[in-house]
Structure 1
Amino acid sequence: MTLSLLDALLESLAGYGLVERTILVLVVSLAAALVLEFVVLRLARRFVKSTGSAFDDIVLAELRWPLVVTAALGGVYVLTQVQTTGPTVVAEDELAAFFQQPVASVIVLVWAYALNSIVNRSVEEVDKTGKYDFAPIFSNVWTLVVLLGAGFLVLTIWGIAITPLLGAAGIAGIAVGFAAKDTVANFFGGLALYFDDTYKIGDYIVLDTGDAGTVVRVGIRSTTLLTRDEVMVTVPNSVLNSASITNESAPQRRRRIRVPLGVAYGTDLDAFEDLAVDVALDESLTLDSPKPRMRLREFGDSALEYELLCWVSTPVKRAKAIHRLNKGLYDAMNDANVEIPFPQRDVHVRPTAAASSAPDSRDSATADAPVADGGDAER
């Protein structure tokens, strides 16, 4: 149906001269672009404001320029398709050669940019809701697909054969693969991490190398972590793909902490356990559910070894919560006169048999001292 309408339009334009036809098509194209901009799109904007959704706003905003440009340049492209005979054929051929390929190329590039922007902005909007996990790697892959597709269409419009380029691209791809194997490994490593759902932005992860931090960026080549010391650590995706990763923010962000403490033998254990649990419940950083609890782990040399088990909302609060719980337990045990034991050793010094039978050093010195000639030994 569309082709028949286009053919009818071309036949109707063929009866006009080159100048008249050019003026007519340009006027109609400009009028169509103005109608789209000031009538159709304005009414569409009023409608999408009432929906309360951000996605239709994104689609309308990104399709505005492609629609207007297509309406404005579409007439020029139609003008180049008119086939007539007569003295104006040479001029029309020159007009088609000058306008046809550039106009089609501009339309393809404008629509490619709009499609890329719609998907990328939609992914960002979905990420804000927190309901779905869209890693930035998805946007990067989509951008690459759009670029390749737009490039293929532009080359086809200009009549450039694609088959030889594909063969050359295959050879070049092998050479680039060997030369940039690390980059390629990082790219596919990022894809594997995304599809495995290993982590996402905002997760707190710990690597087997000891590095730990919050994921702040996931790129094609690397992943960036923000440590507790506010230092940015960039780790290649290929390294992450082969490393052991502990995601402390999954499947839930809350984490259990363990606070070891000891109490002296003979202490009222029931009262001591209630005291420690009350300290944990009073701490604002710990969660009331699951409820904190005490566990007696072992009979130590100097104390009964306990662990206070409680939960925090995020892994990054763990260290601060342990610090505040230790201070609170120390103050509460002192106020309740609960003894906090520490290792003590009694050292007993016993004289040996050889030491008890040895003469006094001073007596030995006096007895062995030589007597001077003419001196009095008793003096």
Structure 2
Amino acid sequence: MTLIENLIQNEYFQFFMILSGTVILAVIFKFVAKNYIKKIAEKTKTKIDDIIFEVVTKYIYLFIILIGIYVALEYLSILIPYAPQVDGMFFIVSVLMVSLVVSRILNVLIGDWLTVHRRFKRMPQLIGKIITIFIYIIAFLMVLSYFNIEISPLVATLGIGALAVGLALQDTLKNFFAGLHIISDRPVNVGDFIEIEGDISGYVEDIGWRSTRIRTIRNTIVIIPNSKLAESTIINDSMPEEEMSVYVECGVAYESDLKKVEEVTVDVARKIQETVPGAAREFEPFVRYRTFGDSNINFRVILRVEEPVQKYLVTHEFIKALKERYDKEGIEISWPIMKIYRRG
């Protein structure tokens, strides 16, 4: 009996038993969460609770083990002189774990909110990075407060350091704040089809902390500094909606019957709207005469597509079909000519 009492009172035995009990408790929690709580979450329509469940379950499991280790170490007399250091270490680890969980949950919630809204199907990475940085700054200040470290001198030192870094990284900071401006003002969103100066067009793939990535029709990535994008003239073909008009410039000889030209052109455009993939089926195309040119009477044909990228195929098929129909109808598209009159 004395042997058992001595064993129970042995600090290393107590350490082992607490640690073993904590591991068993963590395994039981994981089993219950996986086989019961998870099934409840899976019954809901939204997937957001499933994602949060996976994140929270993983860290609660680790947190239970962390608490068990901390309590078990309290029973070791050899660590009593180092109690403040042990407490500080576990406080830091706990704050980091909580910060990581909160950061991931907020990213999931914001990502879900952006997904629900049609214009924000993909969350820019910059938003997630800003949230993460903000949370870790708060965690860092909590750690400093725990160790009774004065923040004022640190802030002053950081202020001087920030000024030096700011001068050295002017372009980088300029791009960073331009990225914040793009996200807040929303001239473009991830997934939009845009055209900017320099004959660059394509889909916005991501708005990062320094640059914006655009995927072109050729399936290449164009990387544009945020500051340059913010200062550029942008044509956003995806706003206010994906469906957009397509203008095709054309011209016919002065001898042409303009009424016949309009009827033939609209008939060709109507067939294109009805048959070509990506064309807006319900749209009624039309023609508008514009100017008397040097060799032609110029006009514009207005068609409509469901998505910006479809305008290339629709324009391609329309020009082919219109040229073929004009040849059959005897309608001439003149090339530049100059008439010379001789006197005497």
Match of 1:106 in 2: 93
- The residue matched to 1:251 in structure 2 has which SS? coil
Shift of 1:185: 1.2
Bigger Cα displacement from structure 2, 119-128 vs 246-255: 119-128
Match of 1:254 in 2: 243
CA distance in 2, matches of 1:98, 1:239: 50
Could you report, residue by residue, the CA deviation over 1:102-152 in whole angstroms, capped at 9, with x for unpaired residues?
223222222222222333344445555553534322111011112222333
Match of 1:295 in 2: 288
- The residue matched to 1:213 in structure 2 has which SS? strand
Letter in 1 for 2:221: M
Is 2:64 the partner of 1:71?
yes
Letter in 2 for 1:316: V
Could you report, residue by residue, the CA deviation over 1:289-343 in whole angstroms, capped at 9, with x for unpaired residues?
4321011223445443322111122333333322321111011122233344445
Letter in 2 for 1:36: F
Q: What is the TM-score when the length of structure 1 is the normalising length?
A: 0.75
Letter in 2 for 1:101: G
Match of 2:4 in 1: none
Contact 1:259 1:307 in 2 (8 A): yes
CA distance in 1, matches of 2:105, 2:118: 19
Larger radius of gyration: 1
Match of 1:62 in 2: 55
Contact 2:52 2:108 in 1 (8 A): no
Match of 1:4 in 2: none
The equivalences for 1:107-186 within 5 A come to: 107-129=94-116, 131=118, 133=120, 134-158=123-147, 160-186=149-175
Contact 2:48 2:109 in 1 (8 A): yes
Shift of 1:349: 6.3
Contact 2:197 2:233 in 1 (8 A): yes
Match of 2:211 in 1: 222
Bigger Cα displacement from structure 2, 184-193 vs 282-291: 282-291
Match of 2:270 in 1: 281
Is 2:180 the partner of 1:191?
yes
Could you report, residue by residue, the CA deviation over 1:272-304 in whole angstroms, capped at 9, with x for unpaired residues?
323212212222143234321011223445443
CA distance in 2, matches of 1:346, 1:152: 83
Shift of 1:208: 3.5
Shift of 1:101: 2.4
CA distance in 2, matches of 1:293, 1:33: 71
- The residue matched to 1:195 in structure 2 has which SS? helix
Is 2:306 the partner of 1:322?
no
Contact 2:243 2:307 in 1 (8 A): yes
Letter in 2 for 1:150: A
Contact 2:119 2:189 in 1 (8 A): no
- The residue matched to 1:305 in structure 2 has which SS? strand
Against the structure 1 CA distance between its residues 304 and 185, is the aligned structure 2 distance closer, same or farther, given a 3 Å change threshold? closer
Could you report, residue by residue, the CA deviation over 1:55-88 in whole angstroms, capped at 9, with x for unpaired residues?
0111011112221122222244456779xxxxx9
Contact 1:281 1:287 in 2 (8 A): no
Structure 2 residues not aligned, in runs of 5+: 1-8
CA distance in 2, matches of 1:120, 1:192: 20
Against the structure 1 CA distance between its residues 260 and 20, is the aligned structure 2 distance closer, same or farther, given a 3 Å change threshold? closer
The percent of aligned pairs where both chains have the same amino acid is 27
Q: What is the TM-score when the length of structure 2 is the normalising length?
A: 0.82
- The residue matched to 2:187 in structure 1 has which SS? coil
Bigger Cα displacement from structure 2, 177-186 vs 110-119: 110-119
- The residue matched to 1:48 in structure 2 has which SS? helix
Contact 1:66 1:107 in 2 (8 A): no
Match of 1:48 among 41, 51, 76: 41
Could you report, residue by residue, the CA deviation over 1:141-179 in whole angstroms, capped at 9, with x for unpaired residues?
011112222333344445544443222212211111111
Contact 1:69 1:107 in 2 (8 A): no
Match of 1:211 in 2: 200
CA distance in 1, matches of 2:232, 2:336: 41
Is 2:32 the partner of 1:39?
yes
The equivalences for 1:353-372 within 5 A come to: none
Structure 1 residues not aligned, in runs of 5+: 1-15, 83-87, 353-379
Bigger Cα displacement from structure 2, 247-256 vs 139-148: 247-256
Could you report, residue by residue, the CA deviation over 1:3-52 in whole angstroms, capped at 9, with x for unpaired residues?
xxxxxxxxxxxxx8855754564344334312211113431111111113
- The residue matched to 1:275 in structure 2 has which SS? helix
CA distance in 1, matches of 2:293, 2:211: 48
Aligned residues: 330
Q: CA RMSD in A?
A: 3.0
Contact 1:189 1:241 in 2 (8 A): yes
- The residue matched to 2:118 in structure 1 has which SS? coil
- The residue matched to 1:182 in structure 2 has which SS? helix
Letter in 1 for 2:142: L
CA distance in 1, matches of 2:264, 2:117: 39
Letter in 2 for 1:309: I
